[in-house]
A and B are shown apart, each in its own frame.
Chain A
Amino acid sequence: MSSIQRKILTLTTVIIVVMSLIWIMLTFYNYKTQVKYNEVLNRYLLLNEVSRSSNQVITNLNNYLLQPSSENLKELEDSKKSLVSAKYEVFKVRNEENNFTLTNYIHLMESLIETTDRLLGIEQDDEETVKDLAEISRIGNYISETTLTLIDMELKTHEPFYRGIMEQSIELVKLAIWMILLTSLLLLIATYWFSLSITRPIQQLTVAASELSKGKFDKEITVKTNDEISFLAKTFDHMRNNINNLIQQMKEKAKLERELQQNKIILQESHFRSLQSQINPHFLFNTLNTLSKKAYLEGSEEISDLLVSVADLLRYNLKQIDRSVTLRDELMIVKQYMEIQKARFTDRLQLQEDIDESCLGVGIPALTLQPIIENAVIHAVEPSVDGGVISISVKDDHEYVMVQIKDDGMGMTEEKITQILMEHQVQTEGHSTGIGFSNVVKRLRLFYGRDDVISINSTKGVGTAVLLKIPKQRGEKHD
Chain B
Amino acid sequence: MKKYMYIILVILFVSLCYLIFTSANIVLSNDLSLPKGIKQADSQYRLVLITRDMDTTFWNKVGIGALRQAEKEGASLEMWGSYSNNPEEFLKKLELAIHSKVDGIIIQGLDTDEFKALTKVKASFFGIPIITVANDVPMKESLRRTYVGSDQFSAGKLIAMQLLNDMGEKGKVVILYDSQQEYYQKERVRGIEAVLSIYPDIELLHAETSESRDRVISSVRDTLNQVPDVHAFIPVNANMIGPMVQEIEKRSQVEPYFIYTFDDGPESIPLVEQGKIDGVIEQDPEKMGEVSVEQMIKWLNGETVPLDINGYFTNIQILKGENE
Contact across chains for A96 and B36 when beta carbons are under 8 A apart? yes
Bound CA–CA A158/B37 (angstroms): 13
Contacting residues, chain B, for A40 (C-beta < 8 A): 34
CB distance from A165 to the nearest CB of B (A): 7
Bound CA–CA A175/B101 (angstroms): 51
Bound CA–CA A172/B27 (angstroms): 6
Contact across chains for A107 and B101 when beta carbons are under 8 A apart? yes
CB distance from B40 to the nearest CB of A (A): 9
Question: Quick one: CB contact mask for A23-54 with B, threshold 8 Å, 1 for yes?
Answer: 00000010000001001100000000000000
Among B15-23, B184-192, B284-292, B304-312, the stretch in contact with A: B15-23
Question: Quick one: CB contact mask for B20-47 with A, threshold 8 Å, 1 for yes?
Answer: 1001101100011111111101100010
Q: Is B102 an interface residue (CB 8 A)?
A: yes
CB distance from B74 to the nearest CB of A (A): 14
Q: Is A315 an interface residue (CB 8 A)?
A: no
What is the chain A residue whose CB lies nearest that of B35? A95
CB distance from A72 to the nearest CB of B (A): 25
What is the chain A residue whose CB lies nearest that of B101? A107
Using A92-B37, A175-B20 as known contacts, say yes or no to A99 and B26 having CB atoms under 8 A apart.
Answer: no
CB distance from A308 to the nearest CB of B (A): 94
Contact across chains for A103 and B34 when beta carbons are under 8 A apart? no
Contacting residues, chain B, for A165 (C-beta < 8 A): 32
What is the chain A residue whose CB lies nearest that of B16? A182
Contact across chains for B99 and A108 when beta carbons are under 8 A apart? yes
CB distance from B78 to the nearest CB of A (A): 5
Question: Quick one: CB contact mask for A87-107 with B, threshold 8 Å, 1 for yes?
Answer: 000011011110111011101
Contacting residues, chain A, for B16 (C-beta < 8 A): 178, 181-182, 185
Contact across chains for A167 and B26 when beta carbons are under 8 A apart? yes
Q: Which of B1-18 contact A (CB under 8 A)?
A: 9, 12-13, 16-17
| In-complex Cβ contact of A175 among B17, B27, B33, B78 (8 A) | B27
Contact across chains for A139 and B99 when beta carbons are under 8 A apart? yes
Contact across chains for B17 and A95 when beta carbons are under 8 A apart? no
Contacting residues, chain A, for B33 (C-beta < 8 A): 161
Bound CA–CA A185/B15 (angstroms): 12
CB distance from A234 to the nearest CB of B (A): 31
What is the chain B residue whose CB lies nearest that of A101? B78
Contact across chains for B9 and A96 when beta carbons are under 8 A apart? no
Question: Quick one: CB contact mask for A239-263 with B, threshold 8 Å, 1 for yes?
Answer: 0000000000000000000000000
| In-complex Cβ contact of B46 among A92, A103, A108, A181 (8 A) | A103
Contact across chains for B35 and A157 when beta carbons are under 8 A apart? yes
Q: Is B227 an interface residue (CB 8 A)?
A: no
Q: Is B179 an interface residue (CB 8 A)?
A: no
Bound CA–CA A160/B36 (angstroms): 14
| In-complex Cβ contact of B32 among A100, A146, A161 (8 A) | A161
What is the chain B residue whose CB lies nearest that of A105? B100
Question: Quick one: CB contact mask for A134-164 with B, threshold 8 Å, 1 for yes?
Answer: 0000110010011000000000011011001
Contact across chains for B100 and A174 when beta carbons are under 8 A apart? no
Question: Quick one: CB contact mask for A174-186 with B, threshold 8 Å, 1 for yes?
Answer: 1100110110011
CB distance from B308 to the nearest CB of A (A): 29
Contact across chains for A178 and B99 when beta carbons are under 8 A apart? no
CB distance from A83 to the nearest CB of B (A): 15
Bound CA–CA A178/B16 (angstroms): 6
Bound CA–CA A164/B101 (angstroms): 37
Contact across chains for B38 and A100 when beta carbons are under 8 A apart? no
CB distance from B89 to the nearest CB of A (A): 11
Contacting residues, chain B, for A139 (C-beta < 8 A): 99
* Size of interface on B: residues with Cβ below 8 Å to A: 33
Contact across chains for A142 and B96 when beta carbons are under 8 A apart? yes
CB distance from A199 to the nearest CB of B (A): 17
Using A104-B100, A182-B13, A185-B13 as known contacts, say yes or no to A175 and B34 having CB atoms under 8 A apart.
Answer: no
Contacting residues, chain B, for A18 (C-beta < 8 A): none
Contact across chains for A111 and B20 when beta carbons are under 8 A apart? no
Q: Is B76 an interface residue (CB 8 A)?
A: yes
Using A142-B99, A175-B20, A181-B16 as known contacts, say yes or no to A95 and B36 having CB atoms under 8 A apart.
Answer: yes
Q: Which of B95-141 contact A (CB under 8 A)?
A: 95-97, 99-102
Q: Is A189 an interface residue (CB 8 A)?
A: yes
Q: Is A168 an interface residue (CB 8 A)?
A: yes
Q: Which of A107-123 contact B (CB under 8 A)?
A: 107-108, 110-111
Using A95-B37, A104-B102, A142-B99 as known contacts, say yes or no to A185 and B9 having CB atoms under 8 A apart.
Answer: yes
Contacting residues, chain B, for A185 (C-beta < 8 A): 9, 12-13, 16
Contacting residues, chain B, for A146 (C-beta < 8 A): 96
Contact across chains for B99 and A179 when beta carbons are under 8 A apart? no
Bound CA–CA A138/B98 (angstroms): 12
Which of A142, A167, A185 neighbours the largest number of chain B CB atoms within 10 Å of its CB?
A142
Contact across chains for B34 and A39 when beta carbons are under 8 A apart? yes
| In-complex Cβ contact of A158 among B34, B97, B99 (8 A) | B34
Contact across chains for A96 and B23 when beta carbons are under 8 A apart? no
Contact across chains for B37 and A175 when beta carbons are under 8 A apart? no
| In-complex Cβ contact of A111 among B39, B46, B78, B99 (8 A) | B99
Contact across chains for A168 and B20 when beta carbons are under 8 A apart? no
Q: Is A171 an interface residue (CB 8 A)?
A: yes
CB distance from B27 to the nearest CB of A (A): 5
CB distance from A416 to the nearest CB of B (A): 66
Using A40-B34, A96-B35 as known contacts, say yes or no to A29 and B27 having CB atoms under 8 A apart.
Answer: yes
Contact across chains for B23 and A175 when beta carbons are under 8 A apart? yes
Bound CA–CA A39/B34 (angstroms): 10
Contacting residues, chain A, for B23 (C-beta < 8 A): 171-172, 174-175, 178
Question: Quick one: CB contact mask for B56-100 with A, threshold 8 Å, 1 for yes?
Answer: 000000000000000000001010000000000000100111011
Contact across chains for A100 and B34 when beta carbons are under 8 A apart? no
Bound CA–CA A161/B30 (angstroms): 11
Contact across chains for A100 and B20 when beta carbons are under 8 A apart? no
CB distance from A116 to the nearest CB of B (A): 13
Contacting residues, chain B, for A189 (C-beta < 8 A): 9
Contact across chains for A107 and B100 when beta carbons are under 8 A apart? yes
| In-complex Cβ contact of A99 among B9, B20, B34, B38 (8 A) | B38
Using A100-B46, A107-B99 as known contacts, say yes or no to A179 and B38 having CB atoms under 8 A apart.
Answer: no
CB distance from A185 to the nearest CB of B (A): 6
Contact across chains for A94 and B27 when beta carbons are under 8 A apart? no
Contacting residues, chain B, for A100 (C-beta < 8 A): 46, 76, 78
CB distance from A305 to the nearest CB of B (A): 95
What is the chain B residue whose CB lies nearest that of A163? B32
Contacts A139-B99, A161-B33, A179-B20 supplied; 7 other A-B pairs, CB < 8 Å: A36-B34, A40-B34, A94-B38, A95-B37, A99-B41, A100-B46, A171-B27
Which B residues have a C-beta under 8 Å from some C-beta of A? 9, 12-13, 16-17, 19-20, 23-24, 26-27, 31-39, 41-42, 46, 76, 78, 92, 95-97, 99-102
Q: Which 3 A-B pairs have the closest CB atoms?
A: A104-B100, A175-B23, A107-B101
User: Would you mind naming 13 contact pairs between A and B with Cβ atoms under 8 Å apart?
Assistant: A29-B27, A91-B39, A94-B37, A95-B37, A99-B42, A101-B78, A103-B41, A104-B46, A164-B32, A171-B26, A175-B24, A178-B19, A182-B17
